[in-house]
Amino acid sequence: MKEGKKLSPKAIFGIFMVLFYLCLAGIMVFTDVFKESIGKTLCVIIGILLLLYGIFRGIRAWRDL
């Protein structure tokens, strides 16, 4: 981030969404919240995809700061 520049609402929303994706990925992989409804294997697959997408969005958000 450049000195003296405020974060735009778009940047704040982007950071929030990165945290949301990473937290949801952790919930999908490490808890039993969704495992009864969609199965353990599908939970792990979706959790890994959310983790990768969260990392991708985090890198893009960091570049835009």
Q: Are 21 and 54 in contact (CB under 8 A)?
A: yes
pLDDT of residue 1: 53
pTM of the model: 0.83
pLDDT tens digits for range 3-50 = 667 888 898 999 999 999 999 999 999 999 888 899 999 999 999 999
Domain residue ranges in the chain: 9-64
